[in-house]
Amino acid sequence: MKPYERERDCYLRLHELRVEMVRGFAVPAYLHHDDEHLAVEMTIVRPPYLLDFAGALLDEPFDFHEETWEAWEMDRMEKFEDRWPEVKRVMSELECHGIFLSDLHPGNIAFE
Q: What is the value of pTM for the model shown?
A: 0.88
Task: Calculate what percentage of the chain has a pLDDT beyond 70.
Answer: 100
Residue 66 pLDDT = 86
- In this structure, which long-range contacts are made by residues 31-35, counting pairs with CB atoms below 8 Å and at least 24 apart in sequence? 33/8, 35/8
Over residues 32-73, the pLDDT tens digits come to 999 999 999 999 999 999 999 998 999 988 888 888 889 988
Domain spans of the chain? 3-110
Provide the pLDDT for residue 35: 96
- Collapsing DSSP to helix, strand or coil, 29 comes out as coil
